[in-house]
Structure 1
Amino acid sequence: MRNELMTAAICWEIGAKISVEFAYHAKDLFYFCPEANCLAEVVPAKINNAFFRALGSHAPGCANEKKKTTESPVPTTPIFRKSTVPPLPIPSHLGPIAMPRKGIRPSEAQMNALALRSRLAPLHHPGTFQEVVNAWCSMDGVSARQSHPLYIASQPQTYFDAFSPLSHVSEEGALNSDRKILYGNATVSDYNHSFYVTTKTRFKVGEKVLPIKIRVRSSDVLYPYLKDGQEVILFLHGLIPALGKYIEIQPTDAYSGMLITLRDFSSLAR
């Protein structure tokens, strides 16, 4: 039988172990097998799913060496096996990883040193705002969030540090989410063919103390999943307009904006 698809390799220019999803969109960089006893040059490829394949062959005994397919005991009858699709890795970066220029081909000694340094290092994998929030919601407690790195705007953090409760932000007196993901409890209310998502936490704005109130119009993709009186968790990242009667947050790309989950962090659309 065949071994699992190779979905991680070391990128020389980035100097880290990276996901094949990133490599498939950066094919001109130099990638090699992370096994120190192998270091075979690999390239991203795709049949049904993306994977790394060796240009030549992996070293004998390498964990990524291609195994032979098991033959059927009946010569004319093939054995059908379910193909396994590996789960997407936990994003290490919110937004694209910076694309370096293609460098000079490394020596075997340089590749070996980088392979040893990267052996226990976390995988580099870019994620959208939705993917990062999904990863945070699925993590089992504080220790898991403290152990997974997350870069936001090139700033190294952990999932624990990068997510900041709105109640803490209110105490600090600055509503800033350019390098943080803000989250907090909110309530949904229905008024005049729109929903309004209002945070429990309030912020001092001049002489007033106001919540964040976000209008969700009937044309918004979230609208069908909301209902009056619903208790939700609101996630925000990027530019937050000045607080007033209400605000509307429109993401400029897949890496910012507003997300909402149920109170148990499960999807609205479950």
Structure 2
Amino acid sequence: RRDPEWATARKDLARLYILLGRIPLATKQYRDMLHYRPDDGDIMAMLGYLLLREEKIDEAERICTRAVRLRTPPVEAVINLGVIRYYQGRYEEARVLWQQALRTAPEHVLTRANLARLKAPPTRRTIDTRYLARPVRPAAAVWAIHLAAYGKSRAPFEKVRLLLEAAQFDPTLARPHLNLVKHFYLPPRSDFHSQGRALWHARRSVDIARRSHNDEELAEGLLLLGRVLLAEGKSDEAVRVLREGLPKASGRIRPEFERLLAELADKTR
């Protein structure tokens, strides 16, 4: 159990439980890991977060305090200890913690959101989970994508939720957006059809793939975007998008580009 591979397997299992919404089982995995790795800040940060999700505030406070006292405290533990202090009415201590988190990770949006809350003290004593920092890493996004793709027994709405979570876990991945459009949002695919959602996710996938210089995903995104635009009657923009994607397309999707462009050319004659 002290072996690194054992800890990795435990983390993977815990991530799976989190994605399935089985928080108590995930908490148990992290408790076990912390027993054998008592100085691991990442484990402390996640355990503190999970305990807060279970409303076990006293235990979460002890764990987050331990994490914050480390030489390099995880920013999520700092934010969440601030959430606890805010809940306790210790607003100045919460401010100090959130300002510390802001200096460490100025890009973390939850830090600024929590600092903004200090302008209006709470009217009820409760932990608002919307303001908790979830210490997940990009691997969790990959887990969610795989679960949505291969979980054949899952209801469609559950697969959509997993893909949306994957997009949230790692905003640098185009795949969650591609799969949402391709399998759920592309008209007239299913009950999830929404032109607004389909168009947004298609454009988002193209933007991400273009920034990451992933031509394969860029071609797929441009094809899906072209199909959504055609469904919305935006033929001129669809032609521009499909022409951009054709040189990047290869394999099985290239004939689809050629077919759509040929059909559009016939309509304009």
TM-score (norm. length: structure 1): 0.24
Higher RCO structure (Cα 8 Å, ≥6 apart): 1
- Determine which structure has the larger strand proportion and give its number: 1
